[in-house]
Amino acid sequence: MTATDHVQAPAPAPGAPSRRREKGQAARPAMYIAKKVLALVVTLFVASLAVFFSRFLVPGDPARFLLRGRSPKPEALEEITRQFGLDKPAWEQYLNWLGGILQGDWGRSLTYRQDVSDVLLGRLPTTLQLVALAAVFITVLGLFAGIVASLNKGFGDRFILITLTAAGAVPPFVAAIALVALFSVGLGWFPSFGSGDGGWDRIWHLTLPALALGITYIAMVARVTRSSMNEQLLREHVEVATSRGLTRGSVVARHVLRNAMGPILTVSGVLVAGLLVSSAIIERTFGLSGIGQLLVQSIDRLDFGVVQAIVMVVVAAFVLVNTVVDLVQPLIDPRIAAGTESR
Amino acid sequence: MSQLLQIENFTLGFPGRPPLLDSVSLHVNDGEAVALVGESGSGKSLTTRAALGLFPGGSESSGLVSVQGLDTLTASKQRLMELRRRHASMIFQDPRAGINPVRTVGDFLTETLLRFDGLSRSEATERAVKQLEQVGLRRAKELMDQHPHQLSGGMLQRVMIAAALLNSPDLLLCDEPTTALDVTTQAGIVNILREEQQARGMGMLFITHDLNLAASLCERVYVLRRGEVVEHGPTRTVFLTPEQDYTRQLVEATPVIESGAASASPAAPGPDSAVAPLLKVSGLSKTYQLPRGEIITALDAADFSLPEGGSLGIVGESGSGKSTLARLVVALETATSGELTLRDVPRPRRPLNASERKTLAKDVQIVFQDPYLSLDPRIPVGNAVADVFRLHQKQGRKEAKDSARNLLGRVGIGAERIDALPRALSGGQRQRVALAKALAARPRLLVLDEATSALDVSVQAQVLELVEELRDQLGLTILFVTHDLAVVSRLCSEVLVMHQGRIVEQGPTARILEDPGDDYTRNLIASRPRPLWDAEPVTA
């Protein structure tokens, strides 16, 4: 508002207000990043509390479980309890656990009799690759379907919308069975079992699982893309761009999709981070040994060390992805960094 | 023939509905500035957009729209894009909506140059900077890297104009390019447009609802009403001796500064009245603290008083603090410091509680700018007014309904509309309902916050007339907040000019308009568009 005047005003007047503005903006990104990172750390800390102490809510004594129904001598039970540090007060156990994690030691698995980190590292890559591939499918196919739907009003839009609604309602295990029936049993294009030997073979093996895992999310991303783009298409700046003789492609890429990116990114971030959890069913269906399946087994066997480690990894991945999304948002829409977000 | 833009019998509409444009014919010659005047919904924007081949989806059109011989109704996509790139440019109404907010100003300016003129990035930047300087923006190089939200509305509109001029068009289409701007900013933009148009010999089609503006810029004018051209000719002839009733109404409805008119009105008692003032404000300030610790002073030590039955206009540009003042008076905001006394009751410096608010509402009512937003879309207008009667006059359901019918009748809303929802009413009708709602509380003081700015001129004239009538009949005290000096001159006996949170001048309207004591007031008065045939051309 004050700036209106200095368009016409002679020389010295305008410098002052705008310079102040620039200085504020230089300090802002650093503050913004620092805040987000601080929030990340606090969230992880709170999550660690919840993860650790929730085990005390679960019935059953892990030491007793270890002995598999054998009726133990009291001193043997005591020995095992001491060996795993279960006799100490809860807060001390927590501090030990947290201290260990910070040094890369996640404790020992009760069932596998080896370090939790070794158990985890053996399985994490498979799951991460599965999730990464699913994420690629989700973004590429989701964006594509959304864009096509948004730009083809009428039949195309309605057809894609109905297909998406149907796809979004399919539970992953049904999708998995259907995909296997069609592509591996029927057509024989993809294997139905195992995770392959790395490289292309791995991707080939993981294609069906990733598709099955991602199908619901593809539908969601496509819907968000569609509505976000539809909202932008009505904006006046799109008409201005058209009126200046830009091609349809340029208008869509530079002014519609670019501006629609914010919501799409937010939703994709949340969805992709959530994939880690929902991968258990798919891993089971396709016989992959990933952390999803490990989590289910470990809960079953009261193997708390492994459960806590997996949950922490999932929480960390979730929070991390969302923090990255938050940090990228200002690059997409500079108004967010300036704190003056308005249409 | 050197007709740059030629529109013949152009009809446009959606199948199965009455046409939006009905046999519109107009033309613009090389180097000529032509105005297209009409109220909202008259089809001005549709006509102009057709010149660029921009038609609403699903519409059907017939006739001829030709720019330099290219018929945009039948031209191929390729030819249309060629036309938009080289021969015709458009300046839109709201630069804040019209420039992509997530890209830089430089990107906006250079995107066509890079793509279609084969310029390198540095050449394009150089040309854009030069163009920005030409439209009066300084430090143009720095602007190139800034985003639209960092610029003011006036600067952004200059950017938009620069973008339109970059490819040296032969035809410049302007769609209400100054409606979203303050008066002083508008004056600057109009100057630039006039200068560029003359210097380049461009043809210009200028859409506006403001007759004064059209007169200050264009030689010929077309008056559009409900999709039909009702009158056209040289601007001076059309405005001074209009042939059609509609044009005459439009000319009459356009507010002009009429000095002496308001002060002659008998309803306004002089400031010498011995009675205690209805509203007394001294040292009233309001500051906001931003999250970063910066303090913004919205209102700085305001002092004034308003006698019972008086009428005070508060004039200023956006950001001058005039709305803050109005909101303080009706207790929507709490002052940071200073005194506000209404009917000898000092206002506590804290948010009012429910019962205090109710008591206050009996004395003070406010009408807001936009009737589309200020009425609840789900409550029939009769009930909306009746509710106020039930709350403040303790009337029963039936009695309140009758009172509402009476009052609405008085403001010109017939009994047949009493059960209508706001969306079934026009803008002017809605503002009448909002007015009735305020009057139902039988207030002493009526605050009107830009209450006519969102309305068409003819509707604005009706609403102003109504307010005048009610003021005289009910002895209402009026506080009218507006950016339009002409409206104040018509309605208010006293005026108060605000600039950047401070009151720069106050006194009788007639005196201030004739002999302004402050530079800013003088600037404000000088910024009003003046017809081309009147005195010398407007200069900065």
Q: Sign of the C-alpha dihedral, residues A69, A74, A76, A80?
A: positive
Q: Is B381 helix (H, G, I), strand (E, B) or coil?
A: helix
The pLDDT assigned to B446 comes to 92
* B106 and B136 together in one domain: yes
pLDDT given at position B128: 92
pLDDT in tens, A220-272: 899 999 999 998 888 888 989 988 888 888 899 889 988 898 888 888 888 88
Q: Is B425 part of a structural domain of the chain?
A: yes
Q: In B336-396, which residue ranges form alpha helices assigned H by DSSP?
A: 354-363, 371-374, 381-392
B437 shares a domain with B511: yes
Q: Determine the pLDDT at residue B447.
A: 92
Q: How far apart are CA B187 and CA B178, in angstroms?
A: 9
As a whole number of angstroms, the distance between CA B444 and CA B362 comes to: 8
Residue A199 CA to residue A129 CA, distance in Å, equals 11
Select from A54, A77, A83, A74 the least CA-distant residue to A65: A77
CA angle (A127, A129, A134) in 5-degree steps = 95
Quick one: tokens of A28?
Answer: 């802002």
In this predicted structure, what is the pLDDT of residue B540? 37
Instruction: Give the model confidence (pLDDT) of B54-108 as tens digits.
Output: 888 788 888 889 888 888 888 888 888 889 988 899 998 888 888 988 888 999 9
Check pLDDT > 50 for residue A4: no
With respect to residue B418, please indicate whether it lies within any of the assigned structural domains. yes
Which residues are within 8 A (CB) of B272 and not within 5 positions of it... i.e. 6 or more apart? none
**Whether residue B489 is found in the same domain as residue B391:** yes
In this structure, are residues B242 and B233 in contact, taking their beta carbons and an 8 Å threshold? no
Comparing alpha-carbon positions, the chain A residue that sits nearest to B160 is: A240
* Interface contact A7-B292, CB threshold 8 A: no
B154 Cβ under 8 Å from any chain A Cβ = yes
Q: Which of A14, A240, A339 is facing B92, going by the closest CB pair?
A: A240
Residue A12 has pLDDT above 50, yes or no: no
CA-CA distance, A195 to A126, in Å (whole number)? 7
In 3D, which of B303, B515, B102 has the Cα closest to residue A328? Answer: B102
- Kindly state whether residues B318 and B446 are assigned to the same domain: yes
Last residue in a domain, options B118, B139, B168: B168
Contact B136 A8 (CB under 8 A): yes
Residues of A in contact with B54 (CB under 8 A): 239, 242-243
Chain A contact set for B70 (CB, 8 A): none
**Confidence check: pLDDT of A7 > 70:** no
Evaluate the CA torsion angle A317, A322, A323, A329 in order and state its sign.
positive
CATH number at residue B226: 3.40.50.300
pLDDT value of residue B270:
46
Q: Is the pLDDT of residue A42 over 90?
A: yes
In a domain? residue B519: yes
Among the listed residues A148, A278, A123, the one whose alpha carbon sits nearest the alpha carbon of residue A210: A278
Confidence of residue B267 (pLDDT cuts 50, 70, 90): very low
What length is written for chain B? Answer: 540
Beta strands B203-208 and B494-499, pairing class = unpaired
Q: Span A141-150, mean pLDDT?
A: 91
Q: Could you tell me if B163 and B179 lie in one domain? A: no
pLDDT band at B2 (very low <50, low <70, confident <90, very high): low
Q: Does B25 map to a domain?
A: yes
Select the more confidently predicted residue: B267 or A308: A308
Q: What pLDDT does residue A1 have?
A: 38
Query: Which residue segment(s) compose the domain that B104 sits in?
Result: 99-168
Please check the confidence at residue B535 and state whether its pLDDT lies above 70: no
The pLDDT assigned to A63 comes to 64
- A/B interface, count of CB pairs below 8 Å: 120
Percentage of chain B with pLDDT > 70?
94
- B292 occurs within a structural domain: no
What is the arithmetic mean of pLDDT over A13-26?
40
Where does a domain end: B126, B144, B168?
Answer: B168
With respect to residue B232, please indicate whether it lies within any of the assigned structural domains.
yes
From the CB of residue A234, how many other CB atoms can be counted at a distance below 10 Å? 8
- Token pair listed for A132: 């990464």
Helix crossing, B427-439 with B397-410: angle to 10°?
A: 130
Domain presence at residue B537? no
User: Taking 70 as the threshold, does the pLDDT of residue A179 lie above it?
Assistant: yes
Domain boundary among B150, B168, B186: B168
* Residue whose token pair is 């017809």: B531
Taking the Cβ of residue B139 and every Cβ of chain A, the question of whether any pair is shorter than 8 Å is answered with yes
What is the token pair recorded at B280? Answer: 């007394």
Buried residues in B351-366 as b, exposed as e (16+ CB within 10 A) = ebeeeeeeebbebbbb
Report residue A38's pLDDT band, with 50, 70 and 90 as the boundaries: very high
Of B115, B154, B540, the CB nearest to A250: B115
The model's pLDDT over B444-499, given as tens digits with 9 standing for 90+, comes to: 899 998 888 777 888 888 888 888 888 888 888 999 998 888 888 888 889 999 98
Range from B98-112, B122-136, B290-304 carrying the lowest mean pLDDT: B290-304
- Asked if A3 lies within 8 A of B151 by C-beta distance, the reply is yes
**Cβ of B85 and A14 within 8 Å?**
no
- The answer to whether residues B77 and B219 belong to one domain is yes
Backbone φ/ψ region at B226: left (φ over 0), alpha (ψ -120 to 50), beta: left
Whether B278 is covered by a domain: the verdict is no
Residues in B touching A258 (Cβ below 8 Å) = 100, 102-103
Residue B416 tokens read as 């047949």
**Residue A14 binned pLDDT confidence (cut-offs 50, 70, 90):** very low
CA distances from residue A221 to A116, A266, B335 in whole angstroms, order as listed = 35, 10, 48
Is A165's pLDDT higher than 90?
A: no
The span from the CA of A251 to the CA of A311, in Å, is 44
Name the residue with higher pLDDT: A185 or B37: B37
State the pLDDT at residue B386.
92
Q: How confident is the prediction for chain B on average, in pLDDT?
A: 85
Residues 450-489 in B contacting A (C-alpha not used; CB under 8 Å): none
Residue B531 has pLDDT above 60, yes or no: yes
Residues B386 and B316 in one domain: yes
Per-residue pLDDT, A21: 42
pLDDT of residue A309: 85
B520 and B479 in a common domain: yes
- Give the pLDDT of residue B250: 86
Residues B194 and B222 in one domain: yes
Question: For the residues B303-330, what does the mean pLDDT come to?
Answer: 87
Mean pLDDT of B5-12: 90
pLDDT at B258: 64
Sheet containing strand B502-508, edge to edge, reads B364-367, B445-449, B477-482, B311-315, B494-499, B502-508
In this structure, are B76 and B127 located in the same domain?
no
Classify the C-alpha dihedral A102-A108-A110-A112 as positive or negative: positive
Cβ–Cβ < 8 Å for B476, B246: no
Please state which of the ranges A39-43, A197-201, B172-176, B316-320 shows the lowest mean pLDDT: A197-201
Q: What is the 3-state secondary structure (H, E, C) of B76-113?
A: CHHHHHHHHHHCEEEECCCHHHHCCCCCCHHHHHHHHH
Q: Give A168→chain B minimum CA distance, Å.
A: 31
Separation of first and last alpha carbons in chain B: 36
CB contact under 8 A, B152 and A8: no
| Number of domains making up chain B | 3
B76 & B26 share domain: yes
If asked whether residues B463 and B322 sit together in one domain, one would say yes
